[in-house]
Structure formats: C-alpha cells, structure tokens
Structure 1
Amino acid sequence: MAKFAINLKEGNIEKESELIVGIDLGTTNSLVAYMKEGQAVAVKDQAGKSTLVPSIIHFTADQSVIVGDEAREKLVTDPANTIYSVKRLMGKSYKDIKQVEQYFGYRIIDEDTDSLVKIRVKDKFFTPIELSAEILKTLKRRIERELGETISKAVITVPAYFNDAQRQATRDAGKLAGLDVLRIVNEPTAASLAYGIGLHPDDNEVVAVYDLGGGTFDISILQIHNGIFEVLSTHGDTFLGGDDFDRAIVDFWLQQQATGQVSSSQSLRLLAEQAKKHLSQHESYENTLDGVTYAISRAQFEALAQPLVDRTLASCRRALVDAKLKPEQIEKVILVGGATRVPLVKKAVSDFFGREVFDKLNPDEIVALGAAIQADILAGNQKDLLLLDITPLSLGIETMGGLMDVIIPRNTKVPAKVGRRYTTSIDGQRNLKVAVYQGERDLVEHNRKLGEFILKGIPPMPAGLPKIEIHFIINADGILQVKAQELRSNVAQSIDVQPQYGISEEEMGRMLLESIQHAQEDMARRALLEARNEANNIILSADKFVQQHAAILSPEEIEITRTLTSDLRVAVAGTDKDVINKAMEDLNAYTSPLAHRAMDTAIADAIKGISL
C-alpha cells in the first residue's frame, strides 16, 4: 500500500518525499503549519503578525469571497452575508441543528428533514463543505506564499467526537480546496504529538487534553500505547468558550452603567476581549470607549469566570467516569485553546488533576503544530516511526443518481470495519443492487468498479422503511468483504474483492490527481444530483399527501400544492441547484402547515370516543 506524490503543476507522479502540511480547521480560528529544519512552525500572515485566520467567510455584493480578519469586520455591518462557526454545521442535518439555530446570525434553510444543512446567502445556497473549503483555500494560499511552492497534501485535525459524516465532510472540503487530505487526525492526538508525547514506541501513558477554544470546550482522555492513540472518553460543551468570558465582562460593565448608555455591542465585546487578555498578565484593566470608562480587576473577572470554569470541570469529571479513571491516574495534562491562558483556568485544571499542566507551547497553535508533526511522519521523514498500512484509495458504493458514497476513506488504517445504514427509494422494492467502487471522484462513472451483488428478498414495504445495513470489512492483506443485510428480515448477501489487484501505483496516482483537478466540477455535479434526489423524494411525498388528505384540503390548497410541485418538477429538469433548492423551500414552506393540520386531524380521529 504505497504512497506517492502528485505534482499539480506538472501533472505527473513523483517518487521522492514531498512537503505535507498540518491544518487546524477550527471553529473560531484556523491555522496551517509545517516542519522547518526539524521544528513544527505555524505560518504567519503577510504582515508577519498573527498565525490565526478567523474562521469567518463574507460574501460581498458581487458574490466575491473574503475570509479571515477582513470578513470578521463584516460581522457587525453585514451579518446576514457573513458566515461564522461553520465547523459546527459540518456533516449535520437540519434536525441536528434545529435546537441551536438561533445561535447563528445567518440564514440556515429551515426544513425539518434529515438532509445535510444548507446556508442561504442572497439567492445562493452553500453547504458547510463549500464554506470550509474557502477557509482551507486561504490557508493553502498562505503556506504557498510563505514557501514559494505549490502545496497539494495536508493532514487536517478534527475534534475526537466528530462522527464519520463530519470527518468525511472535512475530507471533502479539503479536496474542494485542492488538497489531498492524507489523514484526519483527532485534535487531542495532535496536541499530544506537539509535546512529543506518543512519538516514542515505548510510550505508555494516560493523557488528558483540556481544550478551551473561542466557542467550544472539550476534554479528551487518551490511552497511548506503542504509538497508538486510543480515545477512552470525550466530553464537553459545544457552546462554551472564551467568547463566554468576554460576554461575562460585557454584562458586568453594562450593569455598572447606571445611565444605561451602551456602546456598540461589537466594540464593547472587542474591549472585553482586550480586558481578558490584559488581565492574564496584570491585576486590573481600564479603558475608555465613546466617552465612557470601563474598568475591571482580575479578582472581579475571576468571580465572573468561575461558573464557566466550573462547567468545564464538570465535563472533566464526566469524562473520567466514562473512562473509568480517577484524576490521579492521569499522567499528563495538556492545555489547548487560547482561553487556557486565563490564570484561573490553568490553576483550576492543575488543582483538579493534582499535577502541573503542559502549557509551554502556544495554546492557539498547538493542534496545528501536532498536525504538522503527523504530516512529517506520513511523509516518511521520521525514519524511526512506523506507520500502519493504509487504504490508498477510497472505497464506497453507488447511490441514487450515480453518486459515490464513500464508506472507507482513502488513507484509513487497515484492518478496518465500517458500517452504514441505507433504505429503499421505491414502494415495495424487493431487491437492492450493491455496486462497489474504488476512487476519489464524486460520480461512480469516473471511479473503478470492483464488483456488485444483489440483496434479494427484501420484505415489500413503503419506500424508506426497510433498514439495510452495509458493512465494508478490509483485512490486513487488503482483502475487502462487503456485506449487506436487511435488519427486519435478516436476509443477507456478501462479496469478497481485492481492491489492490490489477491496479498500478501510476494508475492510483492518476486517479488521485484527477480527483483534485476535477474537485470543483465534481462537487457542483454532486450538489445538483443530491438536490434532484431530495426534490424527487419531496415531489413523491407531496403527490401522496394530496392524494391521501384531499378530504381536509380546500380546492385552493390542492391547486397551490400541485402548482408548487409542478414548479419543482420543472426545476429538477434544469441544471441549477439553487433554483431546485428555492423551489423545494417554497413547497416545504407552504405544505408544512397543511401537514401539521393532517397530523392534528389524525390524532383527533384516533382518540375519538376514548375517555382520558
């Protein structure tokens, strides 16, 4: 299972080692790092001041994209067209984020479905993958400007709690940005590597990684043994971070203003952030804004911050319980995230675990630095470290519209076993063809077919009810077994294939190169096909709804529903995903109250005559 480099300029395959960068794609800030003379280094901006790129994307009036510090300035002046915290939406459906939708100041399409979330900016629809790709493109340009060469390979970090969908979304964002993502690494693993923990084969210890960033907190307990990082437990709060410390200071100041005079909320928040940083080194802070003096002492700030710190420690207790460990069994504690610079945080964590914490490295940069070290290992530059074999190309199956659904991503360590659940798309469907493909393109027509089989004997049910589980199992010899089973009836079928058989390194390299060269058009085609698939399901549901509930609908409601459904059919026949999404949005918006009425009627009929 060899590795090879792709020269994007020349379009050929190179055998020698190539620079691979490490990327921390964060909720609040993102960074890129690389190995320079044996040391991991985070790359600064053009002015040489900051290594941080705010994870904020702004769309101008002409739909140009701005990322970073300039985009952050638009949060106040143009919030509807400024996207932040997109990492929270990666791999998420509408249902997943419904409870926290009010957190976001921009337009998330309000559909109560399992489809992946979309963000509306003006008349365009964007996925979190596309938006994250813009951040990655900015990081790619930064490192290329620094080094004066094209960068095509990267290691990207994700939280330990990210699921398969979120990890795959991160890979897709990298590909769309023109990066071959060699590995997705857990953030706590990267932080450990940055301190040299786990680099030696004889390392055997339990490590806690306390990560308090700008907008999120998580604690991870790792067992490191023979170079393998096992996540024993993880816990946290996806809406707790340094920003909450800032808000606490703002609230404190507002309570002090008897006149009720309030400065611009964004200006006051920036002043609070400045105060928080100042108080890490000094005992008091005072400044003037719009003629009003704002002051706070470290003692006052710590009193405000203590409840927030206590919430993080509660998560630490839960993580220890889940890992079946006591605080004294933790051998090393690593601090990650800018908010851990607050002295109160450092002391509280040290007291909780009963030991000194690792905090010598820049907590904002530590994850990116660890990613760069992991990238250097993958490049083969650390000869004393052994890498497990990996799958050189992604493995997946064909889904509706000829889309490739990746089940085992490229560069997954083997042996591996991954399962995913599917269902039928037609009422009464008895058989399901499972076609297995290898490759990096979004459409199966561009990938290599490995084999297929038919799962027969599925009990006839309405579309969407059968539960079909498909497992990909690849052993240490690279032999892939694909199993499919309908869970209600237990009918099953399987096939064995050898993904490596009959394919050369040159052919694999060509497939990888093409996946990067065609990433933009592939993503556009995938988005169009996914929109069509979703629209066709909605059309089917709308037709059924009118047919089954005509008795409770007025002639006007039936006519409008049919007109909107017809409009959606016309949109599906076209090639503009945004037009399809808009037509779906219109149909869903109109029929949602009708569906609620139908549900209320059904419930009323069901309980009629029943005494409660």
Structure 2
Amino acid sequence: MAKVAINLSTGALQQEEVIVGIDLGTTNSLVAYIHPEDKNAIAINDQGRGTIVPSVVHFPKNGEAIVGTDAKEYLITDPANTIYSVKRLLGKSYGDLGEHKDYFGYKIIDDDSEGLVKIRVGDTFYSPIELSAEILKELRERAEHSLKTPVNRAVITVPAYFNDSQRQATRDAGKLAGLEVLRIVNEPTAAALAYGIGIDPTEEKTIAVYDLGGGTFDISILSIHQGIFEVLSTHGNTYLGGDDMDRAIINHWIQENQLLADTVNEDKHLSQELRLKAEEAKKALSSQQVYIGNISDKINCHLERHTFETMIAPIVAQTIESCRQAMTDANLQPEQIDAVIMVGGSTRVPLVYDTVSDFFGKPANNALNPDEVVALGAAIQADILAGNRKDILLLDVTPLTLGIETMGGLMDSIIPRNSKIPTKAGRQYTTSVDGQVNMKISVYQGERDLVKENRKLAEFDLKGIPAMPAGFPKVDVNFILNADGILKVEAVELRSGTRQEVEVKPQYGLTDEQVEQMLMDSITHAREDVSARMVIEARTTAEQLLYQVERFLEKNGEHLTEEEITLTRTNLQNLRDALPTNDKDTILRAVDTLEEQTSPFAERVMQISIKQAMAGKKIE
C-alpha cells in the first residue's frame, strides 16, 4: 500500500498523484483534471464516449450495476430497476419529498417521515449514498482508464444551498466509491474558478452564478476578495430545472394527442418514452425553429420554438424571481454585479440566456461548455489543494472528521475533515426512550462509520432533560472549532434550557503518520463500514417499528378484525426473526411488509376517533 503524506496545516498532499474534480449532478455527472503540461482543466472523455455521464444507475436481474449512457436506455424498458435524479434524494427523508414523491419511476420506501429515504429494487434496498457511489465509481474508473493511473482523491462539488446532511452524504458516497474527498466545494465557486475569477489574489469582484440544471436551479451571489470566495446570498428551487421544461412539453403533447394523464402516469414505458422525446425536442429547439417527431407512429410529437418558449416562460420567470430575491438578500443592484456566469445544460435554451442577460443588464458569460464548467472548476480547486498553485490562499483545515456517537455505535459527523477553520456546525438530536432525563454525548475523531474504529476525544452527560415521550426533547449539539484547533462542544435541551459543554484539543497526541493511517483505513474499509452502518440502521428502524406496532395493537386492537390482528402478529414475528440474520435486505423486506400491512390501520383509527369526538366522547 502506497504511503500518502499530508500537510496538516493546509490539507495539501505532498505528492504528484492526480487529484480529479467531480461534478456529481442530478441529470449528468463529469470528471475533470489538470493537464500536467499545459496546466489547463480538461473534462475527461474516456474512449470517445463523451465527457458527460448520465446520472442513471440500472440494476439488471443478474450482474453488476450499469451506470451512465448504457443505463439510460433502460429508463423505457425497465423503469422500476433504473434509478435517476438520485441527487435529489441525498440527505433527504421521505417527508422532505412531499408532492414530488410520485415523480420517480422507481419505488421509494416510506419507512419513517424522519428517516432517510431508501430505494427498493427487487428484493434489495439501496440508500441514495450507495447509488451516488455507483456514479462516482464509474467516473473514477473512466478517469483511471483515460489517465492510465490510479485515482484515489477528488474534489466534489455540491449546490451552495446543500445542508450539512447533504454534504456529509456526498462525502460518504465518495468514500464508498474508494475516493478520499479532499474538499466539498460549492458549485458556483467552482464555476467562477473555471472562468479564471478568483485565481488572481489581488482581484476583487462581485459575481452572479446562474445554474439551471436538469433537476435543480440556484442563483448565487459571490464576493471574491484576496482569493477568498464568500457566498453573499443564494436562492433557488431544488425541484426546478430542465426536467420541468420536459414536463411542460409532455403535458402539451398529452393535450394535443388527447391522451389521459392517468394512463400516461400508469404506463411507465410510455411516460419514459415521452420524457426522452421531450428532452430531445428541447435540445433541438435551441438551434432550430421546429421539432418534428412521433412515438410508434401514433403519438404526434411536433413542437415550434415560439410555442415552447410560451410554455416555459413561467419557469424562466421563477428563476428571475429567485435572482431578484438573491440580489435583495445581498443588498445589491444588478449594475453592481461585475460578471454573470451561466452553468447547467438548460442555460443553452435561448430564452433563458436572453432573459438572464436582460435582468442583469449585461451579456452573461457562456463561453465555456455549461455542462463542464463546474467539473473544470473542481479540477482547479483540486490543483490548488495539491499545492500546485502557490499564489492561492489556502486556509487552515481540520485534518480529521469530528463527530459524536449515535444509536448503535455509529459515528455522526459534525465537522468533516478538510473543513476550513475556524468553523461552527451542529445537529439536532432527541431521546430514544420514554422518560429519558440524561443524554451521554461522546465526541470522536476519525473517518470510520463505527465509533469503535475512531479516536475518542471526550465524553460528558447532559443532565436534567425534562421527562417526555421518546422523540419529544430537542437537543442541539454544536461544535465550535477555533483557529488554534481547540474544539468546544456544547449541548442544549431547547425546551428546558439545560446546557453542558466541554473543550478538547482534536489534534492532541496524534502524529502525522497516525492521521495518514486513519485516512487510508477509512478508504480501505469503506465498503464494510457502510455495510455495517446499514445493518445497524436497518435494525434500529425495525426495533422502532416493532415498538410502535405493538403499542398500537395494545391501544387500538378493538378496531381491528381478528384476521388483521393475526396477520399483524405474524408479520411482527417475521420481523423479530429477521433481526438476528444481520442481513440489511432481509430486515428491510420484513419492515416493508409490516409497514404496508399496518399503514391503513392508523387512518381508520383516526377516522373513528374523529367520529367519537363529534359525538362528544372522550378520546384517549
């Protein structure tokens, strides 16, 4: 195993190994690197297949997952086993999806409104992290094949509005793909770097980055001063993008051909055919006035550009309203913006470019390929982290991830490795047992998913939590890391104001070699770590469901039939029997079966309770 030297004060790698930049997108993903001779950022085009890798994963009945262009073909022929737009699910719970949950052509499991979503493919359950890792693995393999060298380190970009949970999920996906993620970089920052903005440390500019991709839109206002990028404001919509333009075209064709919307939605093959045909029409109308096509010689798919522009005008107007809000939040006027950068394939639509240029009062920058610009910027950031650009300011970073222990002995990351310091981050937690009045806060440092593999830094008890049912107390745990590397951890129960804190030195007692070894171990054991984490999470989900259903039977058994009670007890026992197997999919299949069988009961009991209340009876 090769030894890796790391400068702990900057996080820079002391070696010549290639570090790639990755744009992990909702619709498409790319990988780029800095050419060793001309020092230009280049998007990797492996074997002439193009630089773009569709963010689509197909799971055949037998064999390994298929990723990218080949997987995209299965969106029509096998939609239930073909996953797309997984970036929308990163760090999200089922409750977060709201009205958008029916958008996906595959099965998303509703196990708990607070639990992170899982995707069921056949008898196997996947998390968005595992699916994103498949895409990252494909990008890594393409880079290795093209560059003829191992690729183990990367910079990955995320939208500026991504929260801690979404950023951590992106890091975890990278680790599972065998990559050490040196930095998570905001997409607008990467786009600016690609245009050379912020490279010169004497440069001072205020820029707007308009990013309209396949599934998401955001506008970011950045201030660049002495090589430091500050996000002044960001606004957007995580469910607005080129997909919505496609949907507008589909709805137009449904009306034109007098199709029933319900029929199209139920026929996954037809709906996917329409979706791909609409995408084709949108692209064609960026360079021509009329698109002519059809499906099976029965469905007419003609479209003129002026009709298309009329349909998408409300979508473009929403993006401009976000621009206006971002400018208000930054307390700026359009004339104070020095440059406007266009990012995302959907900015190729002429109406989008013209409208944005009109709003800001200046032509937007679109000289670089809008699909590639973020990946190119990520490659430049990677080059900076490698220490190859001495004129760029590198702030001190924390060398290892800092976090706390959660249920099942898992490590919940609060401050990821390579975060700039000083910094502050936090998460909210709750109790797992009714009447719990104390909570043990155990602080760890390291990259492994299980705390037993990491280094314990401190432990303290938050006492005096009001006795309430499990899940009711709200405990904020905050990590404050100062410029000297001193970490202060504070826990506050919000209802009572109960507070406890402790100070630790996260780097105390660790040599550079130990840090290097911890990093290497995290990559080497990534697959088994994630497997262990998912078994623990599946067991936790199962145990909570067992508790809830058993209590429900005790309180509301009178409202169920004998057959329903018998079937519920059988499924409860099946779930109990699944727990000792320690097989994630076996446990989650039993959870899914019990959930599907019992979910109608709660609605029925609620209706009975409402009737009793209307009759003046007491509800327990």
TM-score w.r.t. length of structure 1: 0.92
Q: Is 1:123 paired with 2:90? A: no
Q: Structure 2 vs 1, CA of residues 605 and 323 (structure 1 numbering), >3 Å: closer, same or farther? A: farther
More deviation, 100-109/227-236? 227-236
Q: Is 1:563 paired with 2:570? A: yes
Residues of 2 paired with 1:115 and 1:416: CA distance?
27
Q: 1:327·1:353 contact (CA, 8 Å) conserved in 2?
A: yes
Q: 1:17·1:380 contact (CA, 8 Å) conserved in 2?
A: no
Q: 1:350: which partner in 2?
A: 357
Write out per-residue CA displacement over residues 380-407 of structure 1, whole angstroms, 9 at most, x where no aligned residue.
1000111111111101111111111111
Q: Is 1:42 paired with 2:43? A: yes
Q: 2:188·2:220 contact (CA, 8 Å) conserved in 1?
A: yes
Letter in structure 2 aligned against 1:16 = Q
Q: Structure 2 vs 1, CA of residues 345 and 433 (structure 1 numbering), >3 Å: closer, same or farther? A: same
Write out per-residue CA displacement over residues 242-287 of structure 1, whole angstroms, 9 at most, x where no aligned residue.
3444454555566666999x99665565555444434433444556
Q: Structure 2 vs 1, CA of residues 312 and 560 (structure 1 numbering), >3 Å: closer, same or farther? A: same
Q: 2:20: which partner in 1?
A: 21
| Residue correspondence of structure 1 range 93-492 to structure 2 within 5 A | 93-249=93-249, 270=276, 272-286=278-292, 296-492=303-499
Q: Which runs of 5+ in 1 are unaligned?
A: 7-12
Aligned-partner SS, 1:529: helix
Q: Residue 300 of structure 1: CA displacement? A: 4.2
Aligned-partner SS, 2:566: helix
Residues of 2 paired with 1:103 and 1:286: CA distance?
26
Q: Structure 2 vs 1, CA of residues 65 and 456 (structure 1 numbering), >3 Å: closer, same or farther? A: same
Q: Structure 2 vs 1, CA of residues 607 and 419 (structure 1 numbering), >3 Å: closer, same or farther? A: farther
Letter in structure 2 aligned against 1:231 = V
Letter in structure 2 aligned against 1:117 = V
**Across the two proteins, how many residue pairs are aligned to each other?**
600
Aligned-partner SS, 1:38: coil
Q: Residue 130 of structure 1: CA displacement? A: 0.2
Residues of 2 paired with 1:607 and 1:34: CA distance?
67
Q: Structure 2 vs 1, CA of residues 253 and 472 (structure 1 numbering), >3 Å: closer, same or farther? A: closer
Seq. identity, %: 60
Write out per-residue CA displacement over residues 489-528 of structure 1, whole angstroms, 9 at most, x where no aligned residue.
2222222111111101110111111110110011000000
Aligned-partner SS, 1:481: strand
Residues of 1 paired with 2:325 and 2:480: CA distance?
33
Q: 1:58·1:82 contact (CA, 8 Å) conserved in 2?
A: yes
Aligned-partner SS, 2:235: strand
Q: Residue 24 of structure 1: CA displacement? A: 0.3
Q: 2:9: which partner in 1?
A: none
Residues of 2 paired with 1:514 and 1:162: CA distance?
28
Residues of 1 paired with 2:111 and 2:91: CA distance?
16
TM-score w.r.t. length of structure 2: 0.91
Q: Structure 2 vs 1, CA of residues 446 and 382 (structure 1 numbering), >3 Å: closer, same or farther? A: same
Q: Residue 125 of structure 1: CA displacement? A: 0.3
More deviation, 319-328/370-379? 319-328
Letter in structure 2 aligned against 1:383 = K
Write out per-residue CA displacement over residues 332-364 of structure 1, whole angstroms, 9 at most, x where no aligned residue.
111011121222221111111101111100000
Q: 1:10: which partner in 2?
A: none
Write out per-residue CA displacement over residues 68-119 of structure 1, whole angstroms, 9 at most, x where no aligned residue.
1110000000000000000000001111113211100001113342111000
Q: Residue 469 of structure 1: CA displacement? A: 1.5
More deviation, 89-98/52-61? 89-98
Q: Residue 608 of structure 1: CA displacement? A: 4.2
Q: 1:75: which partner in 2?
A: 75
Q: 2:578·2:587 contact (CA, 8 Å) conserved in 1?
A: yes
Aligned-partner SS, 1:325: coil
Q: Is 1:526 paired with 2:496? A: no
Residues of 2 paired with 1:452 and 1:246: CA distance?
53
Residues of 2 paired with 1:595 and 1:301: CA distance?
45
Q: 2:14·2:386 contact (CA, 8 Å) conserved in 1?
A: no
Residues of 2 paired with 1:504 and 1:564: CA distance?
52
Aligned-partner SS, 1:401: coil
Q: 2:94·2:112 contact (CA, 8 Å) conserved in 1?
A: yes
Residues of 2 paired with 1:111 and 1:399: CA distance?
19
Aligned-partner SS, 2:201: coil
Q: Structure 2 vs 1, CA of residues 295 and 471 (structure 1 numbering), >3 Å: closer, same or farther? A: closer
More deviation, 200-209/575-584? 200-209
More deviation, 195-204/295-304? 295-304
Letter in structure 2 aligned against 1:456 = K
Residues of 2 paired with 1:265 and 1:444: CA distance?
45
Letter in structure 1 aligned against 2:157 = T
Aligned-partner SS, 2:166: helix
Aligned-partner SS, 2:489: strand
Residues of 1 paired with 2:461 and 2:84: CA distance?
44
Q: 2:13·2:387 contact (CA, 8 Å) conserved in 1?
A: no
Aligned-partner SS, 1:191: helix
Q: Structure 2 vs 1, CA of residues 216 and 486 (structure 1 numbering), >3 Å: closer, same or farther? A: closer
Q: Structure 2 vs 1, CA of residues 295 and 505 (structure 1 numbering), >3 Å: closer, same or farther? A: same
Q: 1:193·1:370 contact (CA, 8 Å) conserved in 2?
A: yes
More deviation, 507-516/286-295? 286-295
Aligned-partner SS, 1:549: helix
Q: 1:454·1:493 contact (CA, 8 Å) conserved in 2?
A: yes
Aligned-partner SS, 2:46: coil
Q: Structure 2 vs 1, CA of residues 465 and 303 (structure 1 numbering), >3 Å: closer, same or farther? A: closer
Q: Residue 290 of structure 1: CA displacement? A: 5.8
Residues of 1 paired with 2:340 and 2:504: CA distance?
44
Write out per-residue CA displacement over residues 530-565 of structure 1, whole angstroms, 9 at most, x where no aligned residue.
111111111122222222334434444443333322
Q: Is 1:578 paired with 2:585? A: yes
Q: Residue 465 of structure 1: CA displacement? A: 1.6
More deviation, 89-98/247-256? 247-256
Aligned-partner SS, 1:460: coil
Q: Residue 189 of structure 1: CA displacement? A: 1.0
Q: Structure 2 vs 1, CA of residues 370 and 564 (structure 1 numbering), >3 Å: closer, same or farther? A: same
Residues of 2 paired with 1:379 and 1:368: CA distance?
16
Q: 2:13·2:385 contact (CA, 8 Å) conserved in 1?
A: no
